[in-house]
Structure 1
Amino acid sequence: MSDETAKEREIMMVMRKLLTTIVREVTPEHKSLKHPLSDQTIQDIRACLGLITAREKELADADGRTAQERPYYVDEPPATKVVPISNIGKAKKNEDE
């Protein structure tokens, strides 16, 4: 990854985080309250986030990174399960009995 690409990737990440933080901060706590942003502003933010995501994907593809980097929540269960090597053969033995 070149310095220019790394810098652009960093800019994209900061812009995405800033836009999502702004939306999060202006979103009312209760659904009964009206959102302070106009429908056009919401559509513009969505378009900006779409462009940022597309450019981040282009940069990742150019660098040879195929895995999509996605945000995750701390309390979200992991997509993978770590199995200790010592337990690999034990599951089959218990099923055979």
Structure 2
Amino acid sequence: MTDNSRKEAEILMVMRKVLANIIKDTTPEFKTMKHPLSGGTIEDIKMCLSLIAARERELADKAGSAHLRPYFTDEKAKAEVVPISKIGGLGKKTDKDHE
């Protein structure tokens, strides 16, 4: 990643965080309360976040980075590592295997 790309990625990350904080700070506590931002402003923020995400993907693709997605720490892994010794009888048979 070049210095310009790295700087751009940093700017995009900060912009995304600032917009997310604005959303958190202005979202009413209860759904029955009126939102302080207008519908147009909310749509503009959504568009900005979409553009930021698209550009971040472009920069990651250009740099050859894998697409990193957030995950929960207790989330089950999508792929499971299987030891080669457990594949199709390649491992040594023990007396427990014959029972």
Asked if 1:18 is matched to 2:14, the reply is: no
Give the structure with higher Rg (CA): 2
- TM-score, normalisation: structure 1: 0.74
* Aligned twin of 1:3: 3
- TM-score, normalisation: structure 2: 0.73
- For residues 50-70 of structure 1, the C-alpha deviation after alignment (integer angstroms, 9 at most, x for no partner) is 1101110110111011x3233
Asked if 1:63 is matched to 2:63, the reply is: yes
| Amino acid paired to 2:12 | M
| Amino acid paired to 1:77 | E
* Aligned twin of 2:75: 77
Identity of aligned residues (%): 51
- For residues 22-41 of structure 1, the C-alpha deviation after alignment (integer angstroms, 9 at most, x for no partner) is 00111011111111100000
Write the distance in 1 (CA, Å) between the matches of 2:98 and 2:33.
Answer: 60
Q: Give aligned pairs, total.
A: 91
* Aligned twin of 2:45: 45
The offset of 1:73, in angstroms, is: 5.2
RMSD of aligned alpha carbons:
2.9
Write the distance in 2 (CA, Å) between the matches of 1:77 and 1:95.
Answer: 32
- Unaligned runs of 5+ residues in structure 2 are none
Q: Which has the higher relative contact order, 1 or 2, with Cα contacts under 8 A spaced 6 or more apart?
A: 1
SS in structure 1 at match of 2:10: helix
Write the distance in 2 (CA, Å) between the matches of 1:23 and 1:96.
Answer: 61
- Unaligned runs of 5+ residues in structure 1 are none
Write the distance in 2 (CA, Å) between the matches of 1:28 and 1:96.
Answer: 64
